[in-house]
């Protein structure tokens, strides 16, 4: 890591401890080649995390809404500083089932930043050209450059989740992909990328309400896809696949955060709070001024 300090080791001890409770256990020990596999055991279950919890709440809903807006506005100058500093790259990965709020998070939390320095990538099914290459080929192309912030709406994690749920790959291939992904993210982190991975965790009932809402409002039909109903039928399989994936890819250089997301306001608040804390922790600074320039008078 090119950082002088661990970007995830945030200074506020209370927040650090709170954050740890919303992570999928201890990070993977990469020197133990079977550790990822062990972590797929029964020890971890998404069901132990309450999707309606509000651990980062600071009051009632209106209070929290004001706070989200405040932090989003603070992220704007932080992004400018991040761009000027250029020592880092920031990759924010938003994962979660349909209606879990990936689009809404991108808009509410990162929407105040200048589009010059932040870029959002929504991953869909791969094209023929993309399928002719390894599954990280298209992902690598879209990773952030120096000073850039990139938001992934879905990500390479779909390349393990979907094949696992649909049994297109063997358990050995599943483990192999965790290894590929951990090593790929390590390369990114070693070369200055701060990786924040948020799993937006909603309840089955909340998803039902949100899908029904899309059906009841014709102006929301464009967001609805009959395929979402088929995926909803695989709810339990997806919970299990996430239960395996999260601990196996929870690394020191790219930790996961499980975000209780039944409340949209709380979801935004938690992601905004943690993003700001991590960015603050980078000790960003404008490059040194040039004394010659400071004396120069434009004629």
Query: Which residue is associated with the tokens 């992902």?
Result: 139
Nearest to a second copy of 110, 253 (CB atom):
253
**SS3 call for 199:** strand
Binding footprint of a second copy on the chain (CB under 8 A): 31, 33, 89, 129, 131-137, 140-141, 143, 145-148, 176, 180, 183-184, 186-188, 190-193
Beta carbon of residue 291, minimum distance to a second copy (angstroms, whole number)? 26
Nearest to a second copy of 21, 131 (CB atom):
131
Nearest to a second copy of 87, 107 (CB atom):
87
Beta carbon of residue 134, minimum distance to a second copy (angstroms, whole number)? 4
Could you tell me how many helices (H) and strands (E) the chain has, helices first?
A: 13, 5
* List of E strands, 41-174: 89-96, 118-122, 149-153
Beta carbon of residue 5, minimum distance to a second copy (angstroms, whole number)? 17
Beta carbon of residue 105, minimum distance to a second copy (angstroms, whole number)? 25
* Sheet hosting strand 149-153, strand order edge to edge: 118-122, 149-153, 89-96, 193-201, 256-260
Mention every residue, 6+ apart, whose C-beta is less than 8 A from residue 70.
Answer: none
Nearest to a second copy of 137, 235 (CB atom):
137
Distances (CA, A) of 256 to 245, 285, 286: 10, 27, 29
Query: Are the C-beta atoms of residues 89 and 192 closer than 8 Å to each other?
Result: yes
Query: Are the C-beta atoms of residues 162 and 242 closer than 8 Å to each other?
Result: no
Beta carbon of residue 156, minimum distance to a second copy (angstroms, whole number)? 11
Beta carbon of residue 29, minimum distance to a second copy (angstroms, whole number)? 11
Nearest to a second copy of 1, 18 (CB atom):
1
* List of E strands, 107-228: 118-122, 149-153, 193-201
Nearest to a second copy of 10, 136 (CB atom):
136
Beta carbon of residue 272, minimum distance to a second copy (angstroms, whole number)? 26
CA distance 276 to 54: 18
Nearest to a second copy of 93, 211 (CB atom):
93
CA distance 98 to 296: 56
**Can you read off the two tokens belonging to residue 184?**
């790929």
Nearest to a second copy of 180, 223 (CB atom):
180
Query: Are the C-beta atoms of residues 154 and 238 closer than 8 Å to each other?
Result: no
Strand partners, 120: 151
Distances (CA, A) of 74 to 13, 47, 69, 242, 257: 21, 34, 9, 32, 21
């Amino acid at each position: 890591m090119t950082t002088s300090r661990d970007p995830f080791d945030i200074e506020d001890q209370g927040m650090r401890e709170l954050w740890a409770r919303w992570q999928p256990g201890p990070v993977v020990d990469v020197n133990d080649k079977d550790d990822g596999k062990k972590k797929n055991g029964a020890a971890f279950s998404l069901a132990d995390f309450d999707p309606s919890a509000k651990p980062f709440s600071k009051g009632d809903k209106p209070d929290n809404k004001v706070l989200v807006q405040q932090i989003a506005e603070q992220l704007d100058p932080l992004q400018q500083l991040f761009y000027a500093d250029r020592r880092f790259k920031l990759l924010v990965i938003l994962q979660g089932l349909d209606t879990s709020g990936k689009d809404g998070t991108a808009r509410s939390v990162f929407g105040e930043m200048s589009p010059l320095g932040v870029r959002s990538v929504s991953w869909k099914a791969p094209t023929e050209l993309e399928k002719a290459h390894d599954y990280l080929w298209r992902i690598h192309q879209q990773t952030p450059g120096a000073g850039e912030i990139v938001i992934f709406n879905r990500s390479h994690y779909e390349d393990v989740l979907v094949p696992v749920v649909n049994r297109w790959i063997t358990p050995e291939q599943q483990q192999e992909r965790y290894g590929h992904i951990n090593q790929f993210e390590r390369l990114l982190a070693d070369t200055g990328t701060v990786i924040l991975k948020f799993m937006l965790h909603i309840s089955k009932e909340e998803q039902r309400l949100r899908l029904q809402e899309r059906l009841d409002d014709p102006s929301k039909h464009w967001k609805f896809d009959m395929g979402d109903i088929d995926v909803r039928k695989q709810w339990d399989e997806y919970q299990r696949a996430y239960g395996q994936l999260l601990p196996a890819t929870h690394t020191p250089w790219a930790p996961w955060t499980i975000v209780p997301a039944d409340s949209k306001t709380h979801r935004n608040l938690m992601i905004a709070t943690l993003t700001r804390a991590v960015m603050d922790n980078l000790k960003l600074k404008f490059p040194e001024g040039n004394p010659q320039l400071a004396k120069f008078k434009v004629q």
